[in-house]
Structure 1
Amino acid sequence: MKLALGYQAFWEAAHKNYPDQLRPDGLLDQGGMFRVINNVLNADHSDRFAKPSERLWRWSINPWIADTRFTKVGALGKTYRGLILLKTPFDLALYPRLIWELQPRTILELGSYQGGSGLWFADNMSVLCENPGEVHSFDLHTKCVHETARKHPLLTFHQVDLSNVANFDVDLLMSLPHPWLVIDDAHVQIFPVFSYLNKLLVSGDYYVIEDDPARVNREIIDGFQLVEESGFLIDTYYTDAFGNNVTCAPNAWLRKS
């Protein structure tokens, strides 16, 4: 597990060099850190992955309103390098962890807005990936994309009407290397788009559906039955990192099995 490398290295160095400080109240156990280390080291041997039908839809707190209680801005006022970045603070912490763990060669972003999130993903990929790939962002309203985002060498914007999957350039998609990380933040025909892209995904690829799952209506329930039937599991390491479903993608950090 790539996420555990730093924890494993610390654990081994501490045991070797400072055995007397490894007791629960020792100087190296900062605020119960040893329990956290064990949880990370054992993450691949736990019930990390779950079927959608096994999960409830409730969340511990609503991530979109959590930081409006004590600030004037909140998640909708986030910016990155001066551009609008529509991500909650929890998800801003989660995506770099997944990018580091997955080492995606391709990130597909559905919904570009001003290009701030695409730029953020491209910068994260350039820093966190040992072999950086490309970010491809798809939106109908690409004239809103800022020039700053367009200049990034790993980031390409595509004007596509996502209401019809036939508008995708299948030759482009088939040429893109795996692993893939797909982020649906477009809120347009989410399950027809999922079904289309699923045909191109391989085992180990990730698909994150932002915002829409929080509605938990008949479309979402039926859609997640399709998700489960397509062989996807919920990665609870991400959905529950800060509490049950404290993310803009509740039950929707999905890994293809």
Structure 2
Amino acid sequence: MKLASGYEAFWEAAHKNYPDQIKSGGLLDLRFLGGFSSVVSSVVNDDYSDRFVKPSERGWTSSIYPLSFPMKASASIPKRSATVGALALTYKGLINIKTPFDLALYTRLIWELQPKTILELGSFQGGSGLWFADHMSLLCDSPGEVHSFDLHTKCIHESAKHPLLTFHQIDLSTVENLDKGLLTRLPHPWLVIDDAHVQVFSIFSYLSDLLISGDYYVIEDVTVDANREIIDGLQLAEQSGFLVDTYYTDAFGINLTCAPNAWLRKS
């Protein structure tokens, strides 16, 4: 029986390390693995085929909107939501504002991409920048640099320090304020995360010309609302050679991320 692509290594390791359990029909029973593999094969196979698609070919259905915020609690709508959880989630005591889904996805992407540069638009308290720097140092064979940009740098906590992390004070409402001299010297691959929600597609248009094939651009929160501006913006992304990486948008369910249809990879 052939298991779903991507599980061969797991199956070989299971045979090697758990031969008794397999023979006895335990947890790693072949029938169980066969059924399990058929359920998850659509996600696993994203590693191999049909993983990257044009934004215009994607619908806006979502398994759940992770940033939904119920105004009133009821029996069917609890007080807590993914938004409340994300706001309450801290990293080393600092506000991070990332859902558990997206933290898991970024962990995988940093390991897979091995970025030399991470650009974060929107610093807030510095918790997410510190998270990115720590994970780059842990997951990258040759750690690079994390640069975080925000106007209100006074909000950055004094403990948000890391040798790979630099904060820059900048008004992102004017795209020309970005230091092109700095950007052009930064090594690739790049991972750009827009969590500033300021002039989103103007900044995207500016930065996209500096990205090269294989770089990633993630637009958080904004694309939860599929309005005309967002649809037109993603069409711009498509015209600029960006494809949606469906592994990251759909790993936990269709568009179960704070960046629906917006884990973008430059082709």
1:112 is aligned, of 123, 146, 166, to 123
Q: Distance in 2 between matches of 1:17 and 1:41?
A: 22
Aligned to 1:48: 51
**Structure 1 position 13, deviation (Å):** 2.8
Q: 187-196 or 41-50: which moved more?
A: 41-50
Q: Distance in 2 between matches of 1:55 and 1:111?
A: 27
Identity %: 73
- Write the deviation string for residues 89-128 of structure 1: whole angstroms up to 9, x where unpaired: 1111111011111010100000000000000011111111
Aligned to 2:177: 167
Aligned to 1:87: 98
SS of 1:147's partner is coil
The TM-score with structure 2 as length reference comes to: 0.85
Q: Which has the larger radius of gyration?
A: 2
Q: Distance in 2 between matches of 1:199 and 1:98?
A: 22
SS of 1:174's partner is helix
Distance change in 2, residues 1:74/1:65 (3 Å): farther
SS of 1:12's partner is helix
Q: Distance in 2 between matches of 1:55 and 1:38?
A: 20
CA RMSD of aligned residues (A): 2.7
Q: Distance in 2 between matches of 1:28 and 1:55?
A: 36
Distance change in 2, residues 1:148/1:7 (3 Å): farther
Distance change in 2, residues 1:11/1:223 (3 Å): same
Q: Distance in 1 between matches of 2:163 and 2:8?
A: 34
Q: Distance in 2 between matches of 1:174 and 1:91?
A: 28
1:136 aligns with 2:136: no
Q: Distance in 2 between matches of 1:224 and 1:120?
A: 27
Q: Distance in 2 between matches of 1:17 and 1:141?
A: 53
Q: Please give the residue correspondences for 1:13-32 in structure 2 after superposition, counting only pairs within 5 Å.
A: 13-15=13-15, 26-29=26-29
Which structure 2 residue ranges, 5 or more long, are not aligned?
1-5, 71-76
Q: Distance in 1 between matches of 2:266 and 2:112?
A: 15
SS of 1:43's partner is helix
8 A Cα contact 1:7 1:37, kept in partner = no
**Structure 1 position 197, deviation (Å):** 0.5
Aligned length: 252
Distance change in 2, residues 1:41/1:61 (3 Å): closer
The TM-score with structure 1 as length reference comes to: 0.88
Aligned to 1:63: 66
Aligned to 1:3: none
**Structure 1 position 38, deviation (Å):** 5.4
Q: Distance in 2 between matches of 1:37 and 1:191?
A: 34
**Structure 1 position 39, deviation (Å):** 5.5
Q: 61-70 or 102-111: which moved more?
A: 61-70
Distance change in 2, residues 1:28/1:81 (3 Å): same
1:184 is aligned, of 167, 186, 194, to 194
Q: 81-90 or 64-73: which moved more?
A: 64-73
- Write the deviation string for residues 119-162 of structure 1: whole angstroms up to 9, x where unpaired: 0011111111111111000000011001111x210100000111
Amino acid at match of 1:45: Y
Distance change in 2, residues 1:36/1:205 (3 Å): farther
